[in-house]
Amino acid sequence: MNKEAIRTRIEEIGIVPAIRLFSAEDALFAVEAVSDSGIPIAEVTMTTPGALDVISGLAHKRPELIVGAGTVNDIETARRCLDAGAKFLTSPGLDIQVVEFAVKNQVVVLPGALTPSEIMAAWKAGADFVKVFPCSLLGGAGYIRALKSPFPNIPLIASGGVTQGNVADFILAGATGVGIGSDLINPEAVRRRERDWIRELAGRFLKTVQHARSQRAA
């Protein structure tokens, strides 16, 4: 799957699950559970123990999945993630060098940004999407709506505080997609290996995002 196909798939699904757990085993279970629930995308954060092993294992065993690396804060980490097989890179903040590294290596990149200046810088550097994080602390969906006015052509991924209760608001406000953590990858569901629990949550988020998109289009 090339860069364009990955970028298109992320935009089509509109949900980037953030896998931030306490072990490689938990992370592997979470990725497989959410992908089998209709969201074949996962951001395995570098704060998860054994994250690179999880990415590498999935890249070899489940090449159809779009497994990327999160919390990539420097070029050395970015290089290790790509070597492991990561199909996209994302970070909580903006590091232009990481963005440029991803562009040079033809890899989808979703840098974090918060202010209009950071969003402009990320886009000019070649970002495929700009992850607005932590979105909820600056007004949530209202902030996304305000940003889309001057930046109508920049695909924004709302992240930080996205829940079942407000995910539709972010899409209606103009977000291309959302990043979701524990509200989708429930830690207790992972601990108990409750696939159906995660499957139910994934189904709800997918339906809500699709419905909000149809409303926005109308």
Q: Both tokens of residue 14? A: 């509109």
Strands lying side by side in the sheet with 177-180? 108-110, 88-90, 66-70, 41-45, 15-19, 177-180, 156-159, 130-132, 112-113
Going by C-alpha positions, the residue among 81, 89, 88, 112 that lies closest to residue 9 is: 88
State whether residue 149 is helix, strand or coil.
coil
State whether residue 11 is helix, strand or coil.
helix
Going by C-alpha positions, the residue among 105, 110, 107 that lies closest to residue 90 is: 110
- For residue 142, how many other CB atoms are within 10 A of its CB? 12
Q: What is the dihedral of CA 175, 181, 182, 183, to 10 degrees?
A: 20
Q: Cβ distance 80 to 52 under 8 Å? A: yes
Instruction: Give the integer Cα–Cα distance in Å for 189 and 130.
Output: 30
Q: Which residues are catalytic?
A: 43, 131
Instruction: Give the integer Cα–Cα distance in Å for 87 and 89.
Output: 7
